[in-house]
């Protein structure tokens, strides 16, 4: 029970139904409830999120679903308020919502650029900003931001995504420095090529799949569970002396 008596809010977490392909948020939700946490799932896919929360409650878990557009400050405040009303505290925030639109720079529109930066970078900022007062009242907390290996090295296909994930990486370090003395830890995870509902269609294309496997020393794509295990570690007290750091989970890709 590594998260016993802790309350967690997860974004981008609607895909959390056992037996279906899960995202990082969904797989993390399953680990969190297994380890004793009360969980608030959030997303913009409300039907899927409500079904996921109901399925988790059937297992005996304490789980809520709330609509949350991570680019909306008012949505964030409502989600945190609802979490505090239901469970009285907020200990863990997993800023995980994401989008990806591969493009050449010449073909990239301003609208797509703005959307990627808003969901990833602005979303992490608004979530952190809104969660901190609640965590402070509880004596501390753990914030985990989903960056990417493409926030560390360049991407030949996703310029806006890389820029956004790089912003998340350095925002994480700044937030960690500002709140370390209040026992609010802020770390980032950096997944490699992993199969999720966001990537499954593209990554299953034979030519794309071969390129990704060739780039990954361990010879397989990651799973949502591979990433969720890292999130669980950063959320738990096992990582109590870690803040401002990058947890890379990529099958060795960035070691090259």
Cα gap 119→124, rounded to integer Å? 8
Backbone φ and ψ of 122, nearest 5°: -65, -35
Nearest to residue 96, comparing CAs of 196, 184, 185, 239?
196
Alpha helix segments (H runs only) across the chain = 24-34, 46-58, 73-87, 110-117, 123-137, 159-179, 200-203, 206-215, 224-235
Cα gap 91→131, rounded to integer Å? 9
CB contact at 8 A, 1 and 238: no
Reduced to 3 states, what is the DSSP secondary structure of residue 194?
Answer: strand
The H or E element containing residue 249 is strand 246-249
Q: Residues 65, 87, 161, 193: which is the catalytic one?
A: 161
Cα gap 185→243, rounded to integer Å? 5
Concerning whether 87 is annotated as a catalytic residue, the answer is no
Nearest to residue 7, comparing CAs of 48, 28, 47, 36?
36
Q: How far apart are the first and last CA of the chain?
A: 37
Active-site residues: which are they?
A: 161
């Amino acid at each position: 029970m590594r998260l016993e008596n802790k309350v967690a809010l997860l974004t981008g977490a609607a895909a959390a139904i056992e037996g279906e392909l899960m995202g990082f948020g969904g797989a993390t939700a399953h680990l969190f409830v297994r380890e004793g946490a009360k969980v608030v799932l959030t997303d913009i896919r409300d039907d899927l999120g409500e079904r996921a929360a109901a399925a988790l409650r059937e297992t005996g878990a304490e789980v809520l679903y709330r609509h949350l557009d991570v680019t909306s400050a008012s949505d964030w405040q409502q989600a945190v308020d609802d979490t505090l009303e239901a469970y009285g505290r907020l200990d863990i925030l997993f800023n995980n919502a994401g989008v990806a639109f591969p493009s050449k720079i010449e073909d990239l529109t301003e609208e797509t650029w703005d959307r990627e930066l808003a969901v990833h970078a602005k979303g992490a900022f608004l979530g952190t900003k809104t969660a901190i007062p609640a965590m402070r009242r509880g004596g501390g907390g753990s914030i985990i931001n989903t960056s990417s290996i493409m926030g560390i090295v360049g991407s030949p296909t996703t310029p806006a995504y890389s820029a956004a994930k790089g912003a998340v990486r350095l925002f994480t370090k700044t937030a960690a420095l500002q709140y370390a003395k209040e026992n609010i830890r802020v770390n980032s995870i950096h997944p490699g090529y992993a199969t999720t509902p966001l990537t499954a269609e593209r990554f299953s294309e034979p030519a794309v799949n071969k390129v990704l496997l060739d780039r990954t020393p361990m010879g397989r794509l990651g799973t949502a569970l591979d990433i969720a295990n890292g999130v669980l570690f950063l959320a738990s007290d096992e990582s109590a002396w870690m803040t401002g750091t990058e947890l890379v989970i990529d099958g060795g890709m960035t070691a090259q």
